[in-house]
Structure 1
């Protein structure tokens, strides 16, 4: 097991332990900082991000390694503490500019927007990551390859920078005095996620906030103007595939409708929200309303519990997928990835409260039962003990029966049953 895998293996249970702690502290303080469907959507997008990374890692790390081999100015030793410290500082500097450009260049925002779509701000938001960021994000770190930082150093400092940012996604940690002036902190990052005019497109630092102070993008959180989270073009969906595609699709449509070829190109390079004048005139969009009602389809308590249980099962499959990725044949790996993506899509449709969501979820459960029933195995496992096969068939069958009962109860009571925000 390499260093990266060791760090991820240890970090994952810590993430979920801290989420549980955040839930407990919020409850003790009488605050609601989580909504079940939003958290499922955020964590599901994190799963999709990791699935995408399995297929893209070889390309992006391969490009970095090739650049080190062919263009490195220095042969920096991986056993030097100063190489590691300077690598972390340089990585954080490169991250600042990637992050800043992710808010200032539309094609980069199309990937980064996923992280900002949640109208909650909690530790699950930290795991809400893009599935398409690898397309262009690697470009910003090539200076490290050219200088000569070894691949193993780059991989570890990248993980350190990413893992650090997990804890700053919370409303339960207040101001931290001098720490807020030097480092990215919960207070600084709350401002970054806010859509208020005061905070918009500020505080890009990953570990250090001093980059923002140096380059004029810092803003302090103001208690008289509490942050409101989300984006200025709200997603209003729990569909994780649409979450990754929405800005690409909107930009593609505007580029298609633009009359001038210059505008068809500029719309990808201009800041988010910029539209050619002729497109804005023919296809106007409603003005941003910061007082808008948050997206929270009402679900029965039974469906909330059902969706949480099913997501926990899918999360377990996602962990198995990442483990199998080391040795599973490419075709089987692609098949498992598609199964997981469509499963998260079906669960998202169910939590949106659409009638069609029940049908999609039932179809997902049927497919989940059919795979072990007709093959005697599971993705990456050719032959299973018959008792395990029986369990793998029984769980989705029982889930389908529970879902049918919950759906009949919800429709039969015509809204008289207790519902809560999803």
Structure 2
């Protein structure tokens, strides 16, 4: 996990830089591909995901290490061919897991966050789940295990395979000629993220589009059918923690309200979106019926409000870099507390982004926890040894964050327009 944390500290700035480049390129092309708060929500989601991954909070019920030890017929060295086979096996696994996540009710909860943005851009690629507690699908790596592909090779290829799925989340690249027949391109993935009926549940490939063409799930992007993005039951929130568990909460409520015990049990394994008939009638859920008439989630804000949201995000990102850079010295137990604080911070400022009039209360809890950590440890997780300025800075941020958020919350409760950038600067943002 320490190695993965170090890799993330190098790759995350690259992703953020590319998001900025995409925004600048879109402006130059006269296109709008980003909305400010949507991008903050997407990047926040990515941060919660990497915190979970680095802290190892996903339990694999069957590990690749175990598979190799029990089923390997051969023992092979790490050559270029080994890496090629490994990436094919991982991509094959990725296709089927992705397909099942779209087709099975309970598995959709693992993936819904990734589709929840009503935009399609590089930042939405970072919308990744924190709701995956158990990984059931290591058995799909059986071909590599039988061949004896070393664990070390799998450990190198898996994150590379994940990172290579970032670039095609964009509207700025058109069709790519002959490559459209082999690899997943932006055009293919735009189809995958669209909720137009003709595009739904298509193009599950992660690196190779060949799987979709072979298994009958391919759909080409059509000029006469522009993609509409999002999910058919809109999330209606910027809070990534809420989005992660909305679908699970709906399933839980439906299972509780269903009159039939058969429905209570089978709802979890039915096709995505299935609900018992009696529950649908008594507890209707809004679903987009007219794609052209649907209005995207866009609570009123201001430039100052947007600046404050980005400030909160960047502060959390800076603290995340510190956590990943000093993971070993901080230790697992303290790192878990640190990660929990960051998740609480994200929850608090995204509640404010949703214009929750009580967002100040979450900020108060966050500030109390942050200052309590400093009091408990005597500094900010060992920062005084190398960065003596960091602890007072983090402490001052807790206080400032509470007062600025309380100011915005008061304006929301009073029904007043949120102040513009000049007013926010007067209050220390």
TM-score by length of 1: 0.90
Shift of 1:42: 1.1
The gaps in structure 1 that reach 5 residues or longer are none
Q: Which residue of 2 aligns with 1:80?
A: 79
Q: How does 1:1-400 map to 2 (within 5 A)?
A: 7-56=7-56, 59-60=59-60, 63-77=63-77, 79-133=78-132, 135-139=134-138, 141-143=140-142, 144-289=144-289, 290=291, 291-372=293-374, 375-381=377-383, 387-400=389-402
Distance 2:374 2:320 in 1: 17
Distance 1:416 1:239 in 2: 19
Shift of 1:163: 1.2
The gaps in structure 2 that reach 5 residues or longer are 422-429
Contact persistence 2:411–2:417 (CA under 8 A): no
Shift of 1:325: 3.4
Contact persistence 2:55–2:336 (CA under 8 A): no
Closer, same or farther: CA 417–395 of 1 in aligned 2, 3 Å:
closer
Summarize deviations over 1:230-253 as a string: whole Å, max 9, x none. 111111112222111111111111
Contact persistence 2:352–2:405 (CA under 8 A): no
SS in 2 for 1:223: coil
Aligned length: 418
SS in 2 for 1:326: helix
- Structure 1 stretch 81-90 or stretch 398-407: which is displaced more? 398-407
- Structure 1 stretch 360-369 or stretch 298-307: which is displaced more? 360-369
Shift of 1:386: 5.7
Contact persistence 2:384–2:390 (CA under 8 A): no
Shift of 1:417: 5.2
Distance 1:275 1:22 in 2: 39
Summarize deviations over 1:317-341 as a string: whole Å, max 9, x none. 2222233433433331221122111
Closer, same or farther: CA 369–268 of 1 in aligned 2, 3 Å:
same
In angstroms, what is the RMSD of aligned CA positions? 2.7
Distance 2:314 2:169 in 1: 22
SS in 2 for 1:95: helix
SS in 2 for 1:294: coil
